[in-house]
Amino acid sequence: MANFYSEEPKHLLAVDCVIFGFDREQLKLLLVKRVRPPEKDQWSLMGDFLQDNENLEFAAQRILTKWTGLEHVFLEQFHNFSDINRDPGERVLSVAFYALIKIEDSDKELTKRYGAEWIDIDKIPKLIFDHAQMVEMALEIIKHKSRFEPLGFELLPEKFTIPQLQKLYEAIFQQKLDSANFRKKILSMKVLKKLNEKEKGVSKRGAFYFQFDQGKYKKLHESGLLFEI
């Protein structure tokens, strides 16, 4: 490939991932203690440098697979952090992604081996660089976005009950919801498929399992948006 732009400066580009999970009670983030200087041993998001042979989405997926073993994760870039001194080591721009994963599908062995930990979003420790800002922004974004897009399902197992789904939204929005009204609303959107199977052991009566119907959602979405909580 020719050098069309040889006079222009080049930059180090990092990809950092805010990885969200939900353990049936609380929203959690996957964090790790940084293994190299600067700020070695401080809590950090998962990140790496963009390589020449990959685009940003590929790099983010590569990072996610490294730490969780998962291959097809919901991932979205949301902001670039480009202040000149944001990394005390050297100038590095960071492209921040957020990821929504089903904790129980992830490779806990792998996560543990690398020393990563799932931490409640209201117990996040001090983070390196501008990572706290990344987390805050990612939280704002999923809070807003999950009102209009079916993000929630990315955090739950394939089969989930309506009370489980409600707990998730309560964790995201940080507020209690009326269970009867929540049920009505979510069912009125016609994107859930009821299974003939009940959850055991949690409540006496047991709640029916449901599945998110991606196909139905796509149809609705194409015929003018619909999903709203």
Interface positions with its own copies (CB under 8 A): 1-5, 8-13, 37-38, 49-57, 77, 79-80, 82-84, 87, 89-93, 95, 144, 148
Site pattern 148..187 for DNA (x: CB under 7 A): -------------xxx--------------xxxx-xxx-x
- Residue 49 or 148: the one with the smaller Cβ distance to DNA is 148
| Rounded CA separation 100/20 (Å) | 5
Q: Decide: 127 and 32 in contact? Cβ < 8 Å.
A: no
CB 67 within 8 A of CB 116: yes
Asked whether position 196 contacts DNA by CB under 7 A, the answer is no
Q: How many CB atoms within 10 Å of residue 144?
A: 11
Encoded tokens for 218: 């796509």
CA distances (Å), origin 216, targets 3, 24, 190, 221 = 48, 25, 8, 9
Judged by beta carbon distances under 5 to 8 A according to partner kind, the member of its own copies, DNA, none in contact with residue 185 is DNA
> Does residue 207 bind DNA (CB under 7 A)?
yes
Q: Does 103 contact DNA by CB under 7 A? A: no
Residue with tokens 């990092």, as numbered in its chain: 14
Q: Which does 214 bind (CB under 5 to 8 A by kind): DNA, its own copies, none?
A: none
3-state DSSP assignment of residue 70: coil
If the CB atoms of residues 17 and 162 are measured against DNA, the closer one turns out to be 162
d(CA 57, CA 114): 22
| Exposure of 181 in the CB half-sphere (CA atoms within 13 A) | 4
161: partner contacted, choices DNA, its own copies, none (Cβ within 5-8 A by kind): DNA
Which residues contact DNA by CB under 7 A? 161-163, 178-181, 183-185, 187, 198, 200, 202-208, 228
